[in-house]
């Protein structure tokens, strides 16, 4: 008798320190397998705010002691800013100091190498820390993203590497990342009608949408990446053990969903019926008559039905 495969229905989340209070307010409604804390440095920088390192460390230590599902913490990195006189060299230097301070305080923080920073910084953190991250590439053209990632892997692989904002299938299956995070699973469908789960652009948008289909898309991509990079992940486990680091016993790579706790994510992260998740899409163009979405999701006979263009 064939044994039915039970797939993971609970996503892993990436939570910004900036939105931590909002996350805990909504936490009871989430069904997740684990979560990771990001410093929120880019969010704070883009809004003109500052994050106090010692306050961040204190909160990290508190969470390490109380949150069993908190699996990783990213260091408080510094963003280069030409207007503020912060060169990539200065940013890398201060980011390293922050990481060192966090480890001294008992927080195993993951440092981040940003595009444009000296490669010596990349070599240093790869040598001295069990896992690193690549960042600063959100919004860049795909070709430039790919070239940056390719150059970094060529210099430090094998190494557990997290990719900030790495969401495309070709990138996740093209490089053996230890983990990545999807930053647009909420914004793109609700704001622009861009649904990865349904192949791209649709007129279904708005903050009332059930985003469970997007969660399922990234869970499928995660499983595909785990099959694709199984041997490489085992190699990283052996390397970790040889360097005295314990494995976290997680199946890797994992694709984390970067969550903005605004309420629109509640349906998507709620407990799922194991038989079939109830995913309902409400078209922004619904009116009398048949909409494009009605035709797309209607039962169709063999050889019938039109694709959404």
Say yes or no to pLDDT of 307 above 70.
no
58-67, 117-126, 147-156, 292-301, range with the lowest pLDDT: 292-301
Q: Between β-strands 194-195 and 179-182, what pairing exists: parallel, antiparallel or unpaired? A: unpaired
Q: In whole numbers, what is the pLDDT of the chain averaged over residues?
A: 83
Say yes or no to pLDDT of 110 above 60.
yes
DSSP character string of the chain? -PPPP----PPEEEEEGGGHHHHHHHGGG---SEEEEE--HHHHHHTT----HHHHHHHHHHHHHH-TTEEEEB------BTTTTB-HHHHHHHHHHHHHHHHHTT--PBPEEETTS-HHHHHHHHHHSS-EEEES-TTS-HHHHHHHHHHHHHHH-SS-EEETT---HHHHTTS--SEEEES-TTHIIIII-EEGGGTEE-S--STT--THHHHHHHHHHHHHHHHHTHHHHHHHHHHHHHTT-------SSEEEEE---SSTTHHHHS---SS--------TT--SS--HHHHHHS---TT------
Please tell me the pTM assigned to this model.
0.84
**Average pLDDT value for residue range 11-37:** 93
Residue among 4, 7, 6 at smallest CA distance from 217: 7
Give Cα 112 to chain centroid, integer Å.
14
DSSP 188: I
Q: What is 12-278's CATH topology?
A: TIM Barrel (3.20.20)
**Average pLDDT value for residue range 6-11:** 82
Confidence of residue 297 (pLDDT cuts 50, 70, 90): very low
**Average pLDDT value for residue range 195-212:** 73
Q: Kindly report, residue by residue over 62-96, the tens digit of the pLDDT.
A: 999 999 999 999 999 998 888 888 899 999 999 99
**Average pLDDT value for residue range 123-133:** 97
> How many angstroms separate the CA atoms of 295 and 309, rounded?
12
What is the chain's length? 309
pLDDT at 295: 41
Confidence of residue 206 (pLDDT cuts 50, 70, 90): low
pLDDT at 100: 98
**Average pLDDT value for residue range 33-53:** 86
**Average pLDDT value for residue range 269-291:** 51
**Average pLDDT value for residue range 172-198:** 86
Say which residue, 128 or 187, is predicted with more confidence. Answer: 128
pLDDT at 67: 95
pLDDT at 111: 98
Identify the helix (H) or strand (E) that includes residue 255.
strand 254-258
Note if the bond before 253 is cis, omega within 30 degrees.
Answer: yes
**Average pLDDT value for residue range 285-290:** 41
Percent of the chain with pLDDT over 70: 82
2-11, 64-73, 188-197, 271-280, range with the lowest pLDDT: 271-280
pLDDT at 199: 77
27-31, 77-81, 108-112, 298-302, range with the lowest pLDDT: 298-302
**Average pLDDT value for residue range 101-112:** 98
**What are the residue ranges spanned by the domains of the chain?**
12-278
């Amino acid at each position: 008798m064939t044994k039915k495969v039970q797939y993971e229905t609970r996503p892993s989340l990436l939570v910004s320190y900036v939105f931590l209070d909002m996350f805990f307010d909504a936490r009871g409604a989430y069904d997740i397998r684990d979560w990771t804390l990001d410093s929120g440095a880019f969010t704070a920088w883009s809004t003109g705010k500052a994050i106090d390192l010692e306050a961040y460390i204190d909160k990290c230590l508190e969470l390490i002691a109380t949150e069993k599902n908190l699996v990783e913490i990213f260091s408080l990195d510094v963003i280069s800013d030409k207007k503020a006189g912060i060169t990539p060299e200065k940013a890398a230097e201060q980011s390293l100091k922050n990481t060192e301070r966090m480890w001294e305080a008992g927080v195993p923080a993951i440092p981040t190498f940003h595009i444009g920073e000296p490669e010596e910084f990349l070599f240093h953190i790869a040598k001295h820390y069990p896992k690193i991250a690549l960042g600063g590439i959100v919004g860049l053209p795909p070709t430039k993203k790919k070239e940056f990632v390719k150059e970094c892997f060529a210099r430090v692989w094998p190494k557990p590497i997290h990719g900030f904002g790495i969401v495309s299938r070709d990138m996740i299956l093209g490089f053996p990342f230890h983990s990545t995070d999807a930053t647009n699973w909420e914004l793109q469908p609700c704001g622009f009608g861009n649904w990865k789960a349904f192949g791209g652009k649709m007129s279904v948008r708005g903050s009332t949408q059930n985003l469970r289909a997007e969660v399922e898309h990234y869970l499928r991509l995660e499983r595909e990446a785990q099959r694709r990079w199984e041997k490489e992940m085992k190699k990283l486990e052996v390397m970790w053990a040889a360097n005295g680091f314990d494995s976290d016993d997680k199946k890797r790579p994992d694709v984390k969903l970067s969550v903005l706790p605004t309420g629109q994510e509640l349906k998507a992260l709620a407990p799922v019926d194991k038989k079939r998740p109830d995913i309902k899409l409400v078209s922004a163009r619904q009116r009398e008559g048949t909409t494009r979405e009605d035709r797309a999701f209607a039962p169709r006979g063999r050889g019938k039905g039109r694709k959404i263009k």
